[in-house]
Structure 1
């Protein structure tokens, strides 16, 4: 098998790529407003009640309508997945992997089309959408190859007259609850991992971006995935989310989203319901409050660039986004001033026009972020931004708040928007203490030329993904396995060598010869 190779990002400085992307946007524009059915087994089901996906940059524009599931249809989906599992679990791992590789090839051929859909549905500027699609391809390719490596299990010892084997078998029916901020990459990755490991899936995509998930389901069907392995079930968390999590035939839940929802799922999944004969497994990624530390011995231009790109890429709507910059006092004013200059140069607008930054996802997100901006005016000094406009789309200017107390709400609570708080530290030791003072532990970065401080951070900066002399966003599948500590989730390390085992259980077979 050809070794895994990271999908390259598109170079939009080339006129041919610009033209190709603009063509893809026109194609997506011609497809807007379509109805998408539920997919349960081999049935496409239209319901009267719909989830309406709107363009966050132009809330009048409807991207698509997906049928909305109720509990009766959720039950049907679980039963279908449970029945299909009995045959799918016996499919050869190579055959399951081949489907993922076929799907990745289909997506690669239609890469700009999927990215253009993300620009429309999720409000992603071109480079952010392109990275989302590339990561989806990476997940499919990487997990397919990982399954081939794991198909024979792990070696164990055998004594004379005895043969022992240690292998992995799938768990059963998985519920995949995917997020809106990476509605293609994370949705495809969590779904594909479960499927290639031999499980069947009920996929409930985020209601803010369900159309790209519908398109992915179509691709998996085209790639040869048998009916019933992947069941597409948009719906509200209150209507069907709890029902799916609680169901006695649910074997595991794969969730990416907020801390509060993650804790609710974890609590509900811990209860054994009538007819349930296992302890459910939860794979959860629940957000972050991520810090970039700048040491006095550092490349200060790199520091400012890293903070701005990590804080404001995709409007700060990444669980890995830099929402806290902790700067040693010797260089604080310099880094703050330079970051402010860079931020004021950023373009904000309709992502179809390819600015640096587009909108936040919806009215709820807009209201939340604007409330934190108001809070920032009382907790610190407003340096840039602080303005928003939701009359046409949900646009907020990139905002820097300086001189913020490490214990303030702005420094402690996940905002998920284009706001970064600056805090001053007396020295590197205090900066590290501030960086660790949240309940989260997802990503962090340290900008320093001090090898001593690098080694101190390597041991003491308590995050799942730590980066030196670069920003704190942009983990690459197979290169930087992604997942965090504490309230950031179960440190599942997506895109890493241990991820597929979370979807399987080990079985020891011993034969006396």
Structure 2
């Protein structure tokens, strides 16, 4: 395999950072707590100071504004808080009035806004509520007069420029102004000089999320250059401590800021950051690298380390880095920073923050089946980490200037007590948040320095940032929320977090299980963190490209032997205790995890899968084994049924007999084992016929099944051609067939089974689909782009669930097309065994020929919007460049095309229902994607679309066993869904047993009844 090696010099401090990535939470919290053993006098002083701060803030809360008051009124535990967040995130970017009206209608009817009017002491909150009350009142009146939403829509149309839309938009803009310092750096600088802001320093963040294209990154870079020039010209000779600074997101400067792309991302990022740093050095102002997701930390460290080594920046003291205390690595990261700063004789600024991506980090770790979380699961644990890091920062005063970003009064009080009077440091707060706390601090302590982290940009750019801040500070556990709540006891806000921990049964949060314990009935499959250099090194060491095993050729004799052997063993295997059968699957799951590196290598070598796809393939196979084992233990336990007295009735499931399992090449391990494990655990014997392209994977999986305890008489592998499958399904001894593949082959199997002079057989078929994703104008286009690339081009589009038709509302189609074209330029097409590869080759010459045949058709019937470039070395191989075409009618596609081609079709907002009808008319029904912020619309579409799997505001691939059971209907399959609660039952017959218990002389149980009750 191939992966990028980061240019970080090995050291004890770097090793410590890496070791703490996903360290056990309890041990890390205990370790950090031991550094906070303060004298009782210090602890008392902190508590008293914190109490005074909280009391003063509550007394002055009428002067508060921004999220402090807003989140007190609209807590995210309330329906109104969630609605407000959704409106703020989506409304201002919706370009067309019709969709904006549907969004407002969707959100406002479910909330009680009038209950909030005049309730808050904040003028800001009441001003925002006014627009919501007006809109909701008008809408509810329309909904209650008997005609429902139709009347509201007619009223909106009569208004011309709808009053409701304008009122709510204005409420959102009022909100936005409290979070964004200015729409331009010039406006932000002017606002920062206002009378109320003069007591603060500023660090300006040119607001924007991650770049998706090179043009995005260049635009962000130019914005940073412009901002540095503007700030620098105004700052004079103030120096980086007193002058305003600039904060930079590395993800805004390169569209693929991720570990897999380190070889090309780091040079580009370093070049841009050196340029920005030199400019900031020229003006002698601060430039801070913001912290982002945990999997980007080492990349950030590599860029920061390179900046420390630049001789042109040797005398500049304005380089900064944000460190997230919610990461378990934060404490050790500070040691590495100090070590590198001293080694390069530099002094740096460190902004210590709590962290802004907590929910994302938790979800990612659970989805990826990682050993532990990179972040703490309790707020108290993060608070302990923050205090330990703050204390450590004070010990590095020779090389670090600490900047404490916090809205927590106890944390502020602790820092003030721990700081040496001679030590230089500053506090930081977010613009629009924490104002009551810091206003009193800077007023009563003129020598105290506080810097405002100030977003700059348009209100539309604000939205993703705003939502993240709302989530952080609106949570019930947030200090910003609780400090404004008189119902929150003062003692709970002024207690050392260690004291709070003593009241808990366990240090990690009990409702956030480790990823392995995510499911109540089975262990989650273990994943592999491909952002962890230690995991990559271990995978590389165990990577083994295997020579092809000696697989016996399939002959008429071997087919007959398998049929006869499987048929004669059916009764013995059916009578084998279900716990033994389930135990074999669980043992197989463990073996698969043990052999994961070898299986990934084989998937890359034979199945032409990328490394991430190989990891997912093994994990899905493991999940199938454990899920079906748990299901079997539950389903195959005989159940007593009700009936008259004197009678015993039982119901149970039994295996059908011999199952032929025919699996595809695109999931040569997961589907191969998914079919077989279900059939076996249900009490059937199995003849497995894998795809001709991937026999080695099937052979290895079969050997592991035997090793796990599956008898060889219960499982036969016939790695033959299509003729082998045809011969098997015609045999009268076959009780059922599980098939995944093309619609045409499924039809042939169905006809073959029906033509036999034998018992009616079961067919479980999963085929493909003309899978569509619908994007309306309320969708976040940056998110859509990511999901389209994954759904349409990952695995070279060779998934039955892959995106084929992209339905885009015409109002946003030009913008989305521009983003997609730029994002497609960033796709890496190449060797699947290279971690950087996004798109590998197609499976064989036949697949390639079929794709080019389709291209020939599209050339005369569609418009090419984008074709990725293939390097010269790949042009004569099995590689096929991903393409985006625009079509004019859904009817132009009559069959599934299995490869990386996405067909875009524009639609008018008024034609939404007609588009759904047209998709249903194709006859396919596998997957469907919806990107919309209008919840009622998404629910309506999901109820109307004939698709087995519907995905809302996410990608359409990678269904998880037991979480998103997978399968379709119509031309897309028979059902039941693989990895779902009904799948095993399709492999079984039912049997009921009724016994007359009075036959032995009477109804003893009835006679034995007492008269006590």
Instruction: Tell me the TM-score normalised to structure 2 length.
Output: 0.46
Q: Which of 624, 627, 633 is the aligned partner of 1:139? A: 624
Mapped pair 1:188 → 2:673:
yes
Q: Which of 199, 211, 215 is the aligned partner of 2:684? A: 199
Q: Is the 8 A contact 1:168 1:507 kept in 2?
A: yes
Aligned partner of 1:102 in structure 2 is 587
Q: Is the 8 A contact 2:825 2:868 kept in 1?
A: no
Aligned partner of 1:50 in structure 2 is none
The whole-number CA distance in structure 2 between the counterparts of 1:491 and 1:333 is 38
The whole-number CA distance in structure 1 between the counterparts of 2:725 and 2:862 is 39
Q: Which of 361, 365, 369 is the aligned partner of 2:847? A: 365
Mapped pair 1:308 → 2:789:
yes
Q: Shift in Å at residue 105 of structure 1?
A: 0.5
Mapping for residues 308-457 of structure 1, pairs under 5 Å: 308-354=789-835, 355-385=837-867, 393-409=877-893, 412-427=894-909, 428-457=912-941
Aligned partner of 1:286 in structure 2 is 767
Q: Is the 8 A contact 2:824 2:868 kept in 1?
A: no
The size of the alignment, in residue pairs, is 474
Aligned partner of 2:960 in structure 1 is 476
Q: Is the 8 A contact 1:293 1:435 kept in 2?
A: no
Q: Is the 8 A contact 2:549 2:696 kept in 1?
A: no
3-state DSSP of counterpart to 1:348:
coil
The whole-number CA distance in structure 1 between the counterparts of 2:662 and 2:622 is 19
Aligned partner of 2:29 in structure 1 is none
Aligned partner of 1:64 in structure 2 is none
Aligned partner of 2:529 in structure 1 is 11
Aligned partner of 2:406 in structure 1 is none
Mapped pair 1:35 → 2:553:
no
Q: Shift in Å at residue 325 of structure 1?
A: 0.2
The whole-number CA distance in structure 2 between the counterparts of 1:391 and 1:83 is 52
Greater shift in the superposed pair: 448-457 or 493-502: 448-457
Q: Shift in Å at residue 70 of structure 1?
A: 2.2
Greater shift in the superposed pair: 3-12 or 99-108: 3-12
Aligned partner of 2:615 in structure 1 is 130
Greater shift in the superposed pair: 96-105 or 67-76: 67-76
The whole-number CA distance in structure 2 between the counterparts of 1:34 and 1:234 is 12
Greater shift in the superposed pair: 344-353 or 395-404: 395-404
Greater shift in the superposed pair: 329-338 or 282-291: 329-338
The whole-number CA distance in structure 2 between the counterparts of 1:35 and 1:105 is 25
Greater shift in the superposed pair: 366-375 or 429-438: 429-438
CA distance 1:342–1:154, shift in 2 (3 Å): farther
Q: Is the 8 A contact 2:883 2:901 kept in 1?
A: yes
Greater share of strand? 1
Q: Is the 8 A contact 2:864 2:886 kept in 1?
A: yes
Aligned partner of 1:256 in structure 2 is 740
Q: Shift in Å at residue 155 of structure 1?
A: 4.5
CA distance 1:102–1:495, shift in 2 (3 Å): same
Q: Shift in Å at residue 459 of structure 1?
A: 1.1
3-state DSSP of counterpart to 2:891:
coil
Aligned partner of 1:299 in structure 2 is 780
The whole-number CA distance in structure 1 between the counterparts of 2:876 and 2:626 is 39
Q: Shift in Å at residue 242 of structure 1?
A: 1.4
The whole-number CA distance in structure 2 between the counterparts of 1:100 and 1:286 is 26
Per-residue CA distance 1:459-496 (angstroms, 9 max, x = gap):
10110001111111111000011110100010220001
Mapping for residues 224-239 of structure 1, pairs under 5 Å: 224-238=709-723
Per-residue CA distance 1:128-159 (angstroms, 9 max, x = gap):
11101100000001001100001224442121
The whole-number CA distance in structure 2 between the counterparts of 1:416 and 1:166 is 44
Structure (1 or 2) with the larger CA radius of gyration? 2
Q: Which of 435, 459, 480 is the aligned partner of 2:943? A: 459
Aligned partner of 1:77 in structure 2 is 562
CA distance 1:358–1:444, shift in 2 (3 Å): same
Aligned partner of 1:41 in structure 2 is none
3-state DSSP of counterpart to 2:841:
coil
Query: Cα RMSD (Å) of the superposition?
Result: 1.6
The whole-number CA distance in structure 1 between the counterparts of 2:916 and 2:690 is 37
3-state DSSP of counterpart to 2:972:
coil
Per-residue CA distance 1:269-288 (angstroms, 9 max, x = gap):
11232xx2x21000000111
Q: Which of 978, 982, 994 is the aligned partner of 1:510? A: 994
Q: Is the 8 A contact 1:447 1:468 kept in 2?
A: yes
3-state DSSP of counterpart to 1:471:
coil
3-state DSSP of counterpart to 2:992:
strand
The whole-number CA distance in structure 2 between the counterparts of 1:310 and 1:245 is 33
Structure 2 gap ranges (5+): 1-518, 998-1013
CA distance 1:353–1:390, shift in 2 (3 Å): closer
The whole-number CA distance in structure 1 between the counterparts of 2:772 and 2:816 is 15
Q: Which of 646, 667, 670 is the aligned partner of 1:161? A: 646
CA distance 1:6–1:205, shift in 2 (3 Å): same
Q: Is the 8 A contact 1:447 1:470 kept in 2?
A: yes
Q: Which of 88, 91, 101 is the aligned partner of 2:573? A: 88
The whole-number CA distance in structure 2 between the counterparts of 1:245 and 1:279 is 12
Q: Is the 8 A contact 1:101 1:144 kept in 2?
A: yes
The whole-number CA distance in structure 2 between the counterparts of 1:393 and 1:202 is 34
3-state DSSP of counterpart to 1:225:
coil
Aligned partner of 2:509 in structure 1 is none
CA distance 1:506–1:467, shift in 2 (3 Å): same
Query: Greater relative contact order: 1 or 2 (C-alpha under 8 angstroms, separation 6 or more)?
Result: 1
Aligned partner of 1:42 in structure 2 is none
3-state DSSP of counterpart to 2:629:
helix
Q: Is the 8 A contact 2:771 2:801 kept in 1?
A: yes
Greater share of helix? 2
Aligned partner of 1:499 in structure 2 is 983
3-state DSSP of counterpart to 2:995:
strand
3-state DSSP of counterpart to 1:467:
strand
The whole-number CA distance in structure 2 between the counterparts of 1:403 and 1:216 is 42
Q: Is the 8 A contact 2:776 2:932 kept in 1?
A: yes
The whole-number CA distance in structure 2 between the counterparts of 1:151 and 1:198 is 10
Q: Shift in Å at residue 431 of structure 1?
A: 3.4
Q: Which of 947, 966, 971 is the aligned partner of 1:487? A: 971
Per-residue CA distance 1:170-219 (angstroms, 9 max, x = gap):
00000000100000000001000000111000001000011111001110
Q: Is the 8 A contact 2:548 2:696 kept in 1?
A: no
The whole-number CA distance in structure 1 between the counterparts of 2:780 and 2:829 is 27
3-state DSSP of counterpart to 1:423:
strand
The whole-number CA distance in structure 2 between the counterparts of 1:470 and 1:503 is 32
Q: Is the 8 A contact 1:441 1:463 kept in 2?
A: yes
Q: Is the 8 A contact 2:731 2:756 kept in 1?
A: no
The whole-number CA distance in structure 2 between the counterparts of 1:496 and 1:268 is 27
Q: Which of 540, 543, 546 is the aligned partner of 1:22? A: 540
Instruction: Tell me the TM-score normalised to structure 1 length.
Output: 0.90
The whole-number CA distance in structure 1 between the counterparts of 2:941 and 2:976 is 22
3-state DSSP of counterpart to 2:804:
strand
